[in-house]
Structure 1
C-alpha cells in the first residue's frame, strides 16, 4: 500500500516538475523541442505497455482477458475523447498558441489523467511489483512535458507564472486518487488484474498513436520526432533490463 501511494504521488507530481520550468523561462518553447519531448515520451510509453503491461496480463490471464482489456481501454479513451474538448495546438514557427477555452481545457487534461492513474494502480496490484514501479516511472516521464504545456497555455491566458505552476500541478492530482482506486479494485477482485493491466495498455496505446505521435509530427519535425521516439523506446527497454 505504501509503495503504490508513493509511486502514484511521484508520477502525478511529475506534472508539476515539468511545469516548474516556466518559473525560469523567459520565452516560449519551439515546436521542435515540444515535438521531440512528445515523441520521446511516446517511445517510453510504448516500451512500458508492450514490454511491461501486455506480457504481465498475458502471463496471468491469457489472450482473452488481454484482448478484452485492450479493447475496453481503447473504447474508454475513445468515449473520453469524444466528450471532452481537445487541447488544440496550432503549429507555428514562433512557438505554441492555444485556444481561449481555459477552464474547459484544464478540465479536459484533468480527465485525461484518469486512465493514467488507473494504469499505475492496477500495475501495482499485479504479482510483479516491478511492473508497478515501471509504469509509475513511465507515466511520470509522460506527465512532465504535459505539465509544461499546460503551464505555458495558462500563461498565454494572462495567468501569473506561479498560479500557472500551481494549477498545472493540481491537474495531475487526480492520478493519485485513481491510482489508489485501481489498486484496491484489482487487489480485492483478483480476476480483474489481467483485465486491468490490459485496459491500461490499451489506454496507453491509444494515447501514443492517437495523440502523441500525430502531435509530434504536426510541424514538419517528423524525422527528429522519429529518432526521439526510438531513443525513448530504447531508454525504457534499458531501464527494464537494469531494474
Structure 2
C-alpha cells in the first residue's frame, strides 16, 4: 500500500515538476522542441505498454482478457474525447473568455490523467511488483513535458507564471486518487487484474496514436519527432533493464 501511494504521488507530481522551467524561461518555445517532447513522451509510453502492461495482462489472464481490457480502455478514451472539448495547444480559437478557457484546459487535462492514474494503481496490484514501479516511472516521465506544455499554454492566455505552474501541478493530482482506486479494486477483485492491465495499455496506446504522435507531426517536424519517439522507446528500455 505504501509503495503504490508513493509511486502515485511521484508520478502525479511530475506534472508540476515539468512545469517548473516555465517560471524561468521565456514565454515562448519553438514548435520543434514541443514536437520533440511530445514524441519522446509517446516513445516512453509505447515501451511501457508493449514491454510491461501487455505481457503482464497476457500472462495473468490470456488473450481474451487482454482483448476485452484493451478495447475497453480505447472505448473509454474515445468517449472522453467525444465529450470533453479538446484544446489544441498551438492553434486555439481566439475570443474565448479567460475563465472559460482556463476551465476547459483544466477539465480536459484532468480527465486525460484519469486512465493514467488507473494504470499506475492496477500495475501495483499485479503480481510483479516491478511492473508498478515501471509504469509509475513511465507515466511520470510522460507527465513532465505535459505539465510544461500546459503551463506554457496557460501563460500564452495571459495567466501569471505561478498561477500557471500551480494549475499544471493540480491537473496531475487526480492521478493519486484514481491510482489508489485502481489498486483497491484490483486488489479486492483479483480477477480484474489482467483486464485492468490491458485497460491501461489500451488507454495509453490510444493517447500515443491519437494525441501525441499527430500533435508532434503538426508543424513539419515529422523526421525529428520520429527520431525522438525512437529515443523515448530506447530510454524506457534502458531504465527497465537498469532497475
Normalized against structure 1, the TM-score is what? Answer: 0.95
**Matches of 1:57 and 1:88 in 2, distance apart?**
33
Quote how far apart the aligned CAs of 1:118 are: 0.2
- Give the equivalent residue in structure 2 for 1:231: 231
**Matches of 1:117 and 1:87 in 2, distance apart?**
21
**1:121 maps to 2:91:** no
Q: Say which is worse superposed, 203-212 or 97-106, in terms of deviation.
A: 97-106
**Matches of 1:10 and 1:17 in 2, distance apart?**
10
Quote how far apart the aligned CAs of 1:153 are: 1.5
- Give the equivalent residue in structure 2 for 1:172: 172
**1:12 maps to 2:12:** yes
**1:57 maps to 2:57:** yes
Unaligned runs of 5+ in 1: 92-96
For 2:190, what is the secondary structure of its paired residue? coil
Task: Note if contact 1:11-1:137 (Cα within 8 Å) is conserved in structure 2.
Answer: yes
Task: Note if contact 1:90-1:98 (Cα within 8 Å) is conserved in structure 2.
Answer: no
Quote how far apart the aligned CAs of 1:240 are: 1.5
**1:109 maps to 2:109:** yes
Unaligned runs of 5+ in 2: none
Quote how far apart the aligned CAs of 1:147 are: 0.6
**Matches of 2:93 and 2:223 in 1, distance apart?**
25
Deviations 1:1-37 (A, max 9, x none): 0000000000000000011111111231111000001
Q: Note the aligned Cα RMSD (angstroms).
A: 1.1
Deviations 1:80-130 (A, max 9, x none): 000001121336xxxxx6754221121111111000000000000000010
- Give the equivalent residue in structure 1 for 2:132: 132
Q: Say which is worse superposed, 103-112 or 212-221, in terms of deviation.
A: 103-112
**Matches of 1:157 and 1:226 in 2, distance apart?**
30
Task: Note if contact 2:27-2:152 (Cα within 8 Å) is conserved in structure 1.
Answer: no
- Give the equivalent residue in structure 2 for 1:28: 28
- What is the count of residue pairs matched by the alignment? 238
List structure 1 runs of 4+ shifted beyond 3 angstroms: 97-100
**1:150 maps to 2:145:** no
Deviations 1:41-73 (A, max 9, x none): 100000000000000010011000000000000
- Give the equivalent residue in structure 2 for 1:70: 70
**Matches of 1:17 and 1:40 in 2, distance apart?**
17
Task: Note if contact 2:15-2:168 (Cα within 8 Å) is conserved in structure 1.
Answer: yes
